[in-house]
Amino acid sequence: MLDKKIALVTGANRGIGKEVAKELAELGWQVIATARDQSKATKVANDIGNGAVGFPLDVTDEASVKLAASFLQENFTRLDVLINNAGVIGNHAVVDFALDEISSVMDANFMGPIRTAKYFMPMLRKSPDARIINISSGMGELASLESGGYGAYRLSKSSLNAFTILLAAELRGTAVKVMSMCPGWVKTDMGGAGATRSVEKGAETAVWLATAAGVKTGKFYRDKNIISW
């Protein structure tokens, strides 16, 4: 019989990431809660309790991701769930061609999950039921791009969705599933006070994707239902 399941959550120091980490820990999972610096990671692990471990991880820094992968390999037998939650917002319309913003947002929101998937894959492959859950956004849905605005953010999330489809296809037939999900407009530092959803509601589908039987790889979810790309 396997010991408790193991999940790593990026950007777990606040908002949706912290709530997902907390709820999984409360369910008896071994949670590795990560943030860009050790003090924030330690604080969130202490806040979460239930044996959560805090570790520094900056998804935009390849050396940082490799160090976290080494930490996993040295201290755990496998990784069951990777939740790619860390991300940033970009406010400029794409027609502004704010190249620095596009580059930095893509680095965090798109390349970040690629880095973590790459370096954590050996540990995910050791799980009999591994899952990569990419926290995306309805603003990355193809039809929503016609609304314009938030160019870097929309591009990063539609690209993340494409990565989800591609990686899931290449891993089909293995024990590793890959899904994207939209949490909705959530009251977090990123979502703002005007958002319509609680952080608990925003975390709900991620926790469900981590724990439920029968979830389908290569799909985009909102409120526990498959939605259009």
* Cβ pair 81, 131 in contact under 8 A: yes
With DSSP H G I counted as helix, E B as strand and the rest as coil, what are the percentages for the chain, rounded to 5?
45, 15, 35
Token representation of residue 139: 């603003």
Angle at 102 between CA 229 and CA 201, to 5 degrees: 45
CA distance linking residue 64 with residue 229, whole number of Å? 31
Phi, psi of 133 (to 5 degrees): -115, 110
CA distance linking residue 183 with residue 200, whole number of Å? 10
CA distance linking residue 94 with residue 73, whole number of Å? 40
Q: Which residue of the set 119, 150, 153, 221 is catalytic?
A: 150
* Cβ pair 132, 210 in contact under 8 A: no
CA distance linking residue 86 with residue 72, whole number of Å? 18
119 as an active site residue: the answer is no
Q: Which residues are catalytic?
A: 150
